[in-house]
Amino acid sequence: MPHTLFISFCCFAWCKSHGKENAITHLGYFPLFCALIGFIGIPAYGYSKFGFEQGSKIFGGFLACLFAATLQLGVVDFGVSAAYA
C-alpha cells in the first residue's frame, strides 16, 4: 500500500514538472488523472498535449519504468521471502 501511494505521488509530481518544463500553461486535471489512474492518465496526457510521436515516447518510458519497478519489487520480495524460509 505505501508504495502505491508513493508511485501515485511521483506520477502527480512528474506530470506537473513535465508540464512546466515544456511551458504548458493549462494542465487541467491531468496531474490528478495521472496520479489516480496512471496507466490511462499518462498516455492521455502525452497524446493530448504532445501528439502521437512524443506521446508514444512518453508512454514507452512509463512502461519501461513500470516494468523496472515491478521487476525490482519482485526481486526484493523474492529475497525477503527466501530469507525467512
Per-residue pLDDT reduced to its tens digit, 51-69? 999 999 999 998 898 888 7
pTM to 2 decimal places: 0.73
Cβ neighbours of residue 57 closer than 8 Å, sequence gap 6 or more:
46
Confidence (pLDDT) at 20 = 92
81 pLDDT above the threshold of 70? no
Residue that the C-alpha cell 492518465 belongs to: 41
CA torsion through residues 78, 79, 82, 83, sign:
negative
- Under DSSP, is residue 64 helix (H, G, I), strand (E, B) or coil? helix
When pLDDT is cut at 50, 70 and 90, the band that residue 8 belongs to is confident
Q: What is the pLDDT of residues 15-59, one digit of tens each?
A: 999 999 999 988 899 999 999 988 889 999 999 999 999 999 999
14, 34 contact by CB (below 8 A): yes
